Structure 1
Amino acid sequence: MLIRKRKDWSLIAGGVALLLGGCAPRGERGRELTEVAARDASADAALGVVRALVEAFNRHDPERMAALVHEDFEYLSVDGSKVSVDAVGREALKQSMAGYFASVRDVESVIEHTTITGSYVAFRERVSWTGKSGRRSQAALGVYEVRDGLVKRVWYYPAVEQSKASP
């Protein structure tokens, strides 16, 4: 009886080893799994940079925002077939944001509905603040290009005013 139990355990252990070995990445399938894991890690890293930039925005911290963008960063506004350049470089972003935060003291942003394709993070951003007539909110589509762990370029599409009932 004792011998049989040892034999059963060795069969079970062998089966587990076979199962686990079958799951280990090998050959083309293994390369595919490794590439998928690398893409997932890269997508997570890109989204992390964008979230850090939005957190710095919500803290009204232009210095931190500038530290999260490339030296030759570009902020672009898209309106139909027209694209305008609103800021180029870290210093321009820092100055622009300092002025903005001075004039809109309680502005805050929330990222919604993200999608990531390669080095591009796209999302709907909802921004709210208190205006002369009370609390206001608007949403816009944004696309951030992340290169080497920093935001290289940002494109924003026209903002749409949101009511309290808007999704």
Structure 2
Amino acid sequence: MDVEPAPRYHAGMTLQTWWLFLGAVFLLSGTPGPNMLHVMTRSARYGLGPSVFAMAGCLSGLVLVLIAAAAGLGAVLAASPLLFEILRYAGVAYLAWAGIRAWQGGGTAADPATGLVRAPSAVGLFRGGFLIGVSNPKLLMFVAAFLPQFIDPAHAQSPQFLV
């Protein structure tokens, strides 16, 4: 008895693979991590307007790491556990340093009318979000261990990464 292959949806992925990937990414994105904590603290401290620049920085960092994964970073990290560990611990060290700086800067006086602290420049907020984004160990784990499971090497990889 011949079994027909599962119908392809797009970019070489079956519909079942799409749903599995979507569910897993939804769960992973919903778990608190450095990006979420960074944006929440910026929002609470400076308000929604300035925190948009921190969000844009985090998102830019995420996109850059995903582009690097599409260019082969995941394969390099999988082939070199030492490099992966170095990147992971460098990210942890940066996040710890950023956390200590945020904790030490907690004594800045807030505006009595709004309860908010005067925000740094838009560039500073973006840069901070970007650095948190690219140094996020959770994202590095996603790119090196999780994402490659959903990429079918028998089909064009660019559309799969784009999706």
Query: Which structure exhibits the higher relative contact order, with contacts defined as CA atoms closer than 8 Å and separated by 6 or more residues?
Result: 2
**How does the TM-score come out when normalised to structure 2?**
0.28
Larger radius of gyration: 1
Bigger share in helix: 2
Bigger share in strand: 1
